[in-house]
Protein backbone atom coordinates (compact mmCIF):
# COMPACT_ATOMS: atom_id res chain seq x y z
CA UNK A 1 0.00 0.00 0.00
CA UNK A 2 2.72 2.60 0.85
CA UNK A 3 4.22 2.02 -2.61
CA UNK A 4 0.98 2.98 -4.35
CA UNK A 5 0.57 5.97 -2.03
CA UNK A 6 4.09 7.12 -2.87
CA UNK A 7 3.31 6.95 -6.59
CA UNK A 8 0.10 8.88 -6.02
CA UNK A 9 1.95 11.65 -4.16
CA UNK A 10 4.32 11.95 -7.11
CA UNK A 11 1.50 12.12 -9.63
CA UNK A 12 2.17 8.66 -11.07
CA UNK A 13 -0.47 6.18 -12.23
CA UNK A 14 -3.34 8.57 -11.58
CA UNK A 15 -5.56 6.55 -13.92
CA UNK A 16 -4.68 3.22 -12.29
CA UNK A 17 -6.63 1.44 -9.55
CA UNK A 18 -4.39 -0.62 -7.26
CA UNK A 19 -5.87 -3.78 -5.78
CA UNK A 20 -4.06 -5.52 -2.92
CA UNK A 21 -5.75 -8.86 -2.17
CA UNK A 22 -5.06 -10.54 1.15
CA UNK A 23 -3.94 -14.16 1.17
CA UNK A 24 -6.23 -16.53 3.10
CA UNK A 25 -5.16 -17.89 6.46
CA UNK A 26 -4.17 -21.53 5.96
CA UNK A 27 -2.06 -24.16 7.76
CA UNK A 28 1.56 -23.89 6.59
CA UNK A 29 3.63 -27.08 6.88
CA UNK A 30 6.96 -25.35 7.54
CA UNK A 31 5.22 -23.42 10.32
CA UNK A 32 4.30 -26.67 12.12
CA UNK A 33 0.83 -26.52 10.53
CA UNK A 34 0.09 -23.28 12.35
CA UNK A 35 -2.23 -21.03 10.40
CA UNK A 36 -0.86 -17.93 8.71
CA UNK A 37 -1.57 -15.94 5.52
CA UNK A 38 -0.52 -17.89 2.45
CA UNK A 39 -1.56 -18.33 -1.15
CA UNK A 40 -0.50 -21.99 -0.96
CA UNK A 41 1.17 -24.36 1.47
CA UNK A 42 4.98 -24.52 1.71
CA UNK A 43 6.30 -27.90 2.80
CA UNK A 44 10.02 -27.08 2.87
CA UNK A 45 12.41 -24.15 2.63
CA UNK A 46 15.20 -26.37 1.28
CA UNK A 47 13.88 -26.31 -2.26
CA UNK A 48 10.78 -24.20 -2.82
CA UNK A 49 10.73 -25.24 -6.45
CA UNK A 50 10.18 -28.87 -5.44
CA UNK A 51 7.32 -28.15 -3.03
CA UNK A 52 4.09 -27.81 -4.98
CA UNK A 53 0.72 -27.46 -3.29
CA UNK A 54 -1.10 -27.82 -6.60
CA UNK A 55 -4.59 -27.59 -5.11
CA UNK A 56 -3.73 -24.40 -3.23
CA UNK A 57 -1.91 -22.88 -6.20
CA UNK A 58 -4.80 -23.49 -8.58
CA UNK A 59 -7.32 -22.21 -6.03
CA UNK A 60 -5.37 -18.97 -5.66
CA UNK A 61 -4.84 -18.71 -9.43
CA UNK A 62 -8.61 -18.94 -9.91
CA UNK A 63 -9.09 -16.21 -7.31
CA UNK A 64 -6.57 -13.95 -9.09
CA UNK A 65 -8.39 -14.61 -12.37
CA UNK A 66 -11.68 -13.67 -10.72
CA UNK A 67 -10.21 -10.31 -9.68
CA UNK A 68 -9.14 -9.70 -13.27
CA UNK A 69 -12.58 -10.73 -14.53
CA UNK A 70 -14.23 -8.28 -12.14
CA UNK A 71 -12.20 -5.40 -13.57
CA UNK A 72 -12.93 -6.48 -17.13
CA UNK A 73 -16.64 -6.57 -16.26
CA UNK A 74 -16.32 -2.93 -15.16
CA UNK A 75 -15.08 -2.05 -18.63
CA UNK A 76 -11.32 -2.16 -18.06
CA UNK A 77 -9.57 -3.79 -21.04
CA UNK A 78 -7.57 -6.83 -19.91
CA UNK A 79 -4.58 -5.30 -21.71
CA UNK A 80 -4.71 -2.48 -19.15
CA UNK A 81 -4.37 -4.94 -16.25
CA UNK A 82 -1.02 -5.92 -14.73
CA UNK A 83 -0.70 -8.70 -12.15
CA UNK A 84 2.30 -8.71 -9.83
CA UNK A 85 3.61 -9.27 -6.36
CA UNK A 86 6.45 -10.14 -4.02
CA UNK A 87 7.58 -13.60 -2.86
CA UNK A 88 4.49 -15.88 -2.74
CA UNK A 89 2.45 -13.11 -4.33
CA UNK A 90 5.05 -12.79 -7.07
CA UNK A 91 5.10 -16.54 -7.66
CA UNK A 92 1.31 -16.57 -7.95
CA UNK A 93 1.41 -13.58 -10.30
CA UNK A 94 3.89 -15.24 -12.64
CA UNK A 95 1.82 -18.43 -12.66
CA UNK A 96 -1.41 -16.50 -13.20
CA UNK A 97 0.10 -14.48 -16.03
CA UNK A 98 1.45 -17.49 -17.87
CA UNK A 99 -1.80 -19.44 -17.52
CA UNK A 100 -4.30 -16.58 -17.93
CA UNK A 101 -6.94 -17.09 -20.64
CA UNK A 102 -6.94 -13.31 -21.23
CA UNK A 103 -4.32 -11.07 -22.79
CA UNK A 104 -2.88 -9.02 -19.92
CA UNK A 105 -0.98 -5.77 -19.94
CA UNK A 106 1.86 -7.40 -18.04
CA UNK A 107 2.84 -9.50 -15.07
CA UNK A 108 5.79 -9.35 -12.69
CA UNK A 109 7.37 -11.17 -9.78
CA UNK A 110 9.80 -9.77 -7.22
CA UNK A 111 11.87 -12.36 -5.33
CA UNK A 112 9.66 -14.98 -6.95
CA UNK A 113 9.85 -18.32 -8.70
CA UNK A 114 7.81 -20.43 -11.13
CA UNK A 115 5.18 -22.64 -9.52
CA UNK A 116 4.44 -26.10 -10.92
CA UNK A 117 7.36 -25.55 -13.27
CA UNK A 118 7.61 -29.27 -13.99
CA UNK A 119 4.15 -29.28 -15.60
CA UNK A 120 3.58 -25.62 -16.43
CA UNK A 121 2.91 -26.44 -20.10
CA UNK A 122 -0.19 -28.34 -19.00
CA UNK A 123 -1.73 -25.11 -17.71
CA UNK A 124 -0.80 -22.71 -20.51
CA UNK A 125 -3.78 -21.99 -22.83
CA UNK A 126 -3.35 -23.34 -26.33
CA UNK A 127 -3.96 -19.86 -27.74
CA UNK A 128 -0.93 -18.48 -25.81
CA UNK A 129 -2.61 -15.10 -25.16
CA UNK A 130 0.34 -13.74 -23.18
CA UNK A 131 3.27 -15.05 -25.16
CA UNK A 132 4.07 -11.49 -26.31
CA UNK A 133 3.30 -9.90 -22.93
CA UNK A 134 6.48 -8.45 -21.36
CA UNK A 135 7.42 -9.98 -18.00
CA UNK A 136 9.43 -8.23 -15.28
CA UNK A 137 11.38 -10.05 -12.59
CA UNK A 138 13.58 -8.56 -9.87
CA UNK A 139 15.71 -10.58 -7.46
CA UNK A 140 18.42 -9.89 -4.91
CA UNK A 141 21.50 -12.05 -5.30
CA UNK A 142 21.75 -12.44 -1.51
CA UNK A 143 18.18 -13.67 -0.98
CA UNK A 144 18.34 -16.46 1.66
CA UNK A 145 14.65 -17.39 1.39
CA UNK A 146 13.80 -17.53 -2.32
CA UNK A 147 17.22 -18.29 -3.71
CA UNK A 148 18.60 -16.10 -6.45
CA UNK A 149 19.27 -19.22 -8.54
CA UNK A 150 15.56 -20.06 -8.45
CA UNK A 151 14.77 -16.66 -9.89
CA UNK A 152 17.36 -17.16 -12.64
CA UNK A 153 15.97 -20.62 -13.40
CA UNK A 154 12.45 -19.22 -13.57
CA UNK A 155 13.48 -16.53 -16.06
CA UNK A 156 15.24 -19.17 -18.16
CA UNK A 157 12.19 -21.47 -18.07
CA UNK A 158 9.86 -18.67 -19.13
CA UNK A 159 12.18 -17.67 -21.95
CA UNK A 160 12.30 -21.29 -23.08
CA UNK A 161 8.51 -21.19 -23.28
CA UNK A 162 8.81 -18.11 -25.51
CA UNK A 163 8.11 -15.31 -23.02
CA UNK A 164 10.10 -12.10 -23.03
CA UNK A 165 11.52 -11.69 -19.52
CA UNK A 166 13.38 -8.67 -18.20
CA UNK A 167 15.27 -10.17 -15.24
CA UNK A 168 17.05 -7.64 -13.02
CA UNK A 169 19.66 -8.48 -10.37
CA UNK A 170 20.14 -6.38 -7.23
CA UNK A 171 23.53 -6.73 -5.59
CA UNK A 172 23.50 -7.66 -1.91
CA UNK A 173 19.72 -7.51 -1.63
CA UNK A 174 18.18 -10.17 0.60
CA UNK A 175 14.49 -11.17 0.69
CA UNK A 176 13.25 -7.63 0.33
CA UNK A 177 12.98 -4.77 -2.15
CA UNK A 178 15.13 -1.68 -2.52
CA UNK A 179 14.78 1.74 -4.21
CA UNK A 180 16.57 0.67 -7.39
CA UNK A 181 14.23 -2.27 -7.83
CA UNK A 182 11.17 -0.10 -7.19
CA UNK A 183 12.43 2.42 -9.76
CA UNK A 184 12.83 -0.38 -12.31
CA UNK A 185 9.35 -1.66 -11.52
CA UNK A 186 7.94 1.85 -11.93
CA UNK A 187 9.49 2.13 -15.38
CA UNK A 188 8.04 -1.24 -16.34
CA UNK A 189 4.56 -0.26 -15.15
CA UNK A 190 4.71 3.10 -16.92
CA UNK A 191 5.52 1.30 -20.15
CA UNK A 192 2.71 -1.21 -19.65
CA UNK A 193 0.13 1.30 -18.38
CA UNK A 194 0.83 4.62 -20.11
CA UNK A 195 -1.56 7.47 -19.32
CA UNK A 196 -4.49 7.26 -21.70
CA UNK A 197 -4.07 10.95 -22.50
CA UNK A 198 -0.68 10.15 -24.02
CA UNK A 199 -1.42 6.73 -25.48
CA UNK A 200 -4.74 7.74 -27.05
CA UNK A 201 -8.13 6.47 -25.94
CA UNK A 202 -8.53 4.50 -29.15
CA UNK A 203 -5.65 2.25 -28.08
CA UNK A 204 -7.20 1.26 -24.75
Q: What is the predicted pLDDT for the residue at 198?
A: 53
Q: What is the predicted pLDDT for the residue at 57?
A: 96
The values of phi and psi at residue 52, to 5°, are -125, 110
111 close to 90: Cβ distance less than 8 angstroms: yes
List of the chain residues with pLDDT < 70: 1, 48-51, 198-204
Q: What is the predicted pLDDT for the residue at 4?
A: 87
Q: What are the pLDDT digits (tens) for 166-191?
A: 999 999 999 999 999 999 999 999 99
In the sheet where 135-140 sits, what is the strand order?
82-86, 106-110, 135-140, 165-170
54 close to 41: Cβ distance less than 8 angstroms: no
Q: What is the predicted pLDDT for the residue at 3?
A: 86
Which positions are catalytic? 87, 143, 175
- Full DSSP string of 11-53: T-STT-----PPPPEEE-GGGTT-EEE-SS----SS-GGG---
Give, to the nearest 10 degrees, the angle between helix 54-73 and helix 88-99: 70
pTM for this entry? 0.93
Sign of the CA dihedral running 40, 99, 146, 110:
negative
Amino acid sequence: MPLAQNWRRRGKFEEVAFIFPNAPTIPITVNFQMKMPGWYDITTFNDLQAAHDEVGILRSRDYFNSLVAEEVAKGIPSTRIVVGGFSQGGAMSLFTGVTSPLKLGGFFGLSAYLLLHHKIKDFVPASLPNKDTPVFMGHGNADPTVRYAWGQQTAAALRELGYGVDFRTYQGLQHSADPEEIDDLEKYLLARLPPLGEAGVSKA
